[in-house]
Every structure is written in C-alpha cells, then in structure tokens.
Amino acid sequence: MNETSTASWPHKDLLDVSQLSVAETLHLFDTASYFQEINTRPVKKVPTLKGKSVVLFFAEPSTRTKTSFDMAGKRLSADTFSLGGSSSSLVKGESLKDTALTLQAMNPDAIVIRHSSSGAAQFLAERLDCSIVNAGDGWHAHPTQALLDAFTLREQWGEFRGKTLTILGDIAHSRVARSNVNLLTKLGVNVRLCAPRTLLPVGVQTWPVEVFSDLHESVAGADAVMCLRLQLERQAAGLLPDLREYSRRFCLTPDAMTRAKKNAKVLHPGPMNRGVEISSVLADADGSLILNQVASGVAVRMAILYLHLMRPERSGDKQ
C-alpha cells in the first residue's frame, strides 16, 4: 500500500458506520481486498504497521472480534496489548475516563474498545488523542461487524444495488442489526427485518426497511438471509413465549430457504445457537457464508487499522 491510499482518509476514529460516505466505505473495501490476498500467503505478515501499538480493551466477553483484531494487528506487525474488563481497574471502581487516560499516558496509537455502555467509544474519542475503534458498544453500534458483513456480500454479489437481504431474529437488542441496516441501505440494499413483535425495536416503522413477522414471507425472493443470535436471557425476561415456539416460527430451515432466490446466501455473525436460530444443515451448507465472514473480518480490520493509523496527523483531530 502507498501513502495515497491513506492521505485522504478523514477520520481519526471509527465510531459508527454513519460517519462513512459510500466512497469511503468502498475505499475501505478495496483496501481490505488487498489485505485479503496477504492472508492467503504462506507467510501472512507485512511490516506496514511496525512500531505502532494497539490496545484491545474488551470490557465485554468476545472471541471472534477480539481475536480478529489481534490477528489483524499482528499481521501488519503492530504490537497489540489485550485488556479485559475483569483484569482492569474497572473492577476496583476506576472510572472509564481514568482507565482511558491511564492507557493514553502509555501512548498507544489506537484503542479498540468493546463496552456494554452505548456511547463508550464516543466518550473516549472525545477525550483521547489516539484513534478509537468501536468494537461494539451496548445496543448502539458494531461498525466493524457491519463492514465485514457488507464486504463478504460484495465478494459474492459484486454490487449492492438491487439486492435484498433479510435480517432475522432478535433485532431489538442487536447492535449488529442497527449497524447493518445503516450501512447496507446506504449502499443500495433492500433490507427486510423479521422478528416477533417483542424483539422489534421501538420506532422500527421509521427505519428504511420492510418489517415482517412471518419468516416465509420475509425470505421470499431474498438474495441473502442473516440470522442473529437469540439472546436467551430475553426468554427469562418474558420477551419470548417459549423457546420451542420461537424456534418453530423463526429458525431458518432449508424449507424456508426454498422461498428465497436460487443460490441465496446465509450469514450469521455468531455465536450461533444451532437449531434455535438456524438449522445445522444450512449453517454447514455450500451457501453458508458464516466462515467467509470470519475470514473477511481479519482483512476488514487490517484495513481499518491501516487507514486510521497511517493517515497523516491533522490539527484538531480530537473530536
């Protein structure tokens, strides 16, 4: 990669997909495509970010996202440091601000943060000089997941406009759904949502989507279906009548997929509850992009770290 690929990147932080224009999103995808090729080489390491340091501050449990960012940083030769909520001074009562200022005093080039509070990434971005990458904050946003989902679909579709995607499951509590709706509709995808009424967000009628409560109707003619994790704790909260009833009505099965377009794709951001959200047959079928999403995640996060850490410093970077 050369300097011209980062010179025009205007963002110090990545907080939400809403801050990205279509042109910036496609530029990020092109950068990820370059790094995707590196990930297929026998030696999957380049010196691009040698000397840069990235703190992985995950105050919520994570396997895929944290490992993906760790691998992305290391493949670009950055030094990555992991910090979990249970191993930080947060458990001793330290505020998020003081934890962040302590980290900044160590002069990292970026902090990747996952936190249960919506707005945590924005909070840090307004106070710290280094780049902040939102790896999921509360129910608000999960921009890197949406970017890797869209990148995975672009590799299959070639273009977005005119395509139809159904997002199925617990929409109300999903930051993945919010970010995907935001990004994919901007790229020209027709997005449908399907869930029980109790798992639809308040105000969904104002979103630029079609809303369904019938699984078969929602996938009819779709080019792809994305299943979301059913947060089983919602059952205890009385938002689901019965897990078996939910699975009967909303588990994506081969029979339901016969109503989608021929060769329609299946996605799931994980972790999966097989037999609850998606049948094992579909999860492991040729049309499944679930492992493609994982592979794309490393390349997209390499692109995110590269664009944010290698852009020229500008006055007034702190938001």
The DSSP secondary structure of the chain, one letter per residue, reads --THHHHT---S-B--GGG--HHHHHHHHHHHHHHHHHTTSSS---STTTT-EEEEEESS--SHHHHHHHHHHHHTT-EEEEEEGGGSGGGGT--HHHHHHHHHHT--SEEEEEESSTTHHHHHHTT-SSEEEEEEETTTB-HHHHHHHHHHHHHHHS--TT-EEEEES--TT-HHHHHHHHHHHHTT-EEEEE--GGGS-TTGGGSSSEEES-HHHHHTT-SEEEE----THHHHTTSSS-HHHHHHHHSB-HHHHTTS-TT-EEE--S---BTTTB-HHHHTSTTB-HHHHHHHHHHHHHHHHHHHHHSPP-TT---
User: pLDDT at residue 1 above 60?
Assistant: yes
Shared domain check, 258 and 170: yes
Could you tell me the CATH number of the domain that includes residue 192?
Answer: 3.40.50.1370
Tell me, yes or no, whether 217 lies in a domain.
yes
**For 245-269, how does the pLDDT look when each residue is reduced to its tens digit (9 = 90+)?**
889 999 999 999 999 999 999 999 9
Question: Is 271 assigned a ligand-binding role in the annotation?
Answer: yes
Question: Is 64 assigned a ligand-binding role in the annotation?
Answer: yes
Residue 34 near residue 1 (C-beta atoms within 8 A): yes
Mean pLDDT of the chain: 91
Question: Is 104 assigned a ligand-binding role in the annotation?
Answer: no
Distance of alpha carbon 33 from alpha carbon 133, whole angstroms: 20
Shared domain check, 283 and 149: yes
Question: Is 65 assigned a ligand-binding role in the annotation?
Answer: yes
Question: Is 164 assigned a ligand-binding role in the annotation?
Answer: no
Shared domain check, 96 and 232: no
**For 193-250, how does the pLDDT look when each residue is reduced to its tens digit (9 = 90+)?**
999 998 999 999 999 999 999 999 999 999 999 999 887 665 566 667 678 888 999 9
Residue 199 near residue 173 (C-beta atoms within 8 A): yes
Lookup: tokens for 45: 């390491």
Shared domain check, 152 and 289: yes
Q: How many CB atoms lie within 10 A of CB 85?
A: 16
**What confidence tier does 177 reach under pLDDT thresholds 50, 70, 90?**
very high
| Structural domain of 280 | 145-294
Tell me, yes or no, whether 264 lies in a domain.
yes
Shared domain check, 115 and 227: no
Position 51 scores a pLDDT of 97
Position 237 scores a pLDDT of 64
What domain count does the chain have?
2
Position 234 scores a pLDDT of 58
**What confidence tier does 300 reach under pLDDT thresholds 50, 70, 90?**
very high
Lowest mean pLDDT among 33-37, 70-74, 130-134, 312-316: 312-316
Question: Is 229 assigned a ligand-binding role in the annotation?
Answer: yes
Question: Is 262 assigned a ligand-binding role in the annotation?
Answer: no
User: pLDDT at residue 292 above 80?
Assistant: yes
Shared domain check, 171 and 270: yes
Position 313 scores a pLDDT of 74
Question: Is 186 assigned a ligand-binding role in the annotation?
Answer: no
Question: Is 311 assigned a ligand-binding role in the annotation?
Answer: no
**For 5-18, how does the pLDDT look when each residue is reduced to its tens digit (9 = 90+)?**
777 899 999 999 99
pTM: 0.93
Position 233 scores a pLDDT of 62
